[in-house]
Amino acid sequence: MAREQLNGAYNWHEFPARPDLAAALSERVANRLAAAIAARGTAFLAVSGGTTPARFFAALSTAAIAWDKVVVTLIDERFVPASSPRSNAGLVAANLLRNAAAAARFVPLYHEATSIEDAAASDDAALRQLPWPLDVAVLGMGADGHTASFFPDADDLTVLLDPASSRIVLPVHAASAGEPRLTLAMARIVDAGFLALHIEGDDKRAAFNGAMGPGPKKPIRAVFDASPRAVEVFWAP
């Protein structure tokens, strides 16, 4: 179902249960990755962390595609090592990079550095070697309307959300984030060939509807407005 609110266009995909959503989203993503491999010999996927995507990751990990030609990175990451329970890299390793997907190349964002700014600068240089643009980017969303690490209270939010930014990775300081973070710049996210938002639960649906309506613009709405194509929204209760 296609919906348009003000300037942000999106396609709404609703499922009766979360396993149904995971199966449908994983099929769409796998098909896009396979098409990219067929077209240019490689595919580039960026995924989000949090508790929501684990079931989707598990379904995608069994997809019968040429995973050895897939590069996987993160939309954003907390400034913590992979051994931390709060690490997005740890979540991806445990749920996505197994089964057939164990053959994929994973490029994390976190590495030891003296500061989050140094880590972001190092990542920005290293990730320039990857096969941009993204073929697929899968976002999550918080109840406050943040996506990636674009928190409403983030320092330099306008820099993070600059659609013309030349940066790939940026540092994030936000009191509500819990710790410093690294995030892909919005310009890189909205350039993806397939951009999806994966949300679950009535609370997230209410938060999404609120963010897409009139009123102060939440970060998720800024991403939708900047996207040159409709965002695919996948929701289940």
Judged against a pLDDT cut of 70, whether residue 149 lies above it is answered with yes
pLDDT of 4:
43
Judging by beta carbons within 10 Å of its beta carbon (0-12, 13-18, 19+), is residue 201 exposed, middle or buried? middle
Judged by DSSP in three states, 216 sits in coil
Q: What percent of the chain lies above the pLDDT cut of 90?
A: 91
pLDDT of 1:
46
The stretch 12-36 carries a mean pLDDT of: 98
Domains and CATH numbers, the chain: 8-236 (3.40.50.1360)
pLDDT of 99:
98
pLDDT of 6:
41
Residues 10 and 194 sit within 8 Å (Cβ to Cβ): no
Q: What is the four-CA torsion angle of 13, 17, 21, 27, rounded to 10 degrees? A: -120
Question: Model pTM?
Answer: 0.95
* Distance (Å, whole) CA 229 – CA 48: 20
pLDDT of 8:
62
Judged against a pLDDT cut of 60, whether residue 152 lies above it is answered with yes
* Distance (Å, whole) CA 225 – CA 182: 22
pLDDT of 216:
84
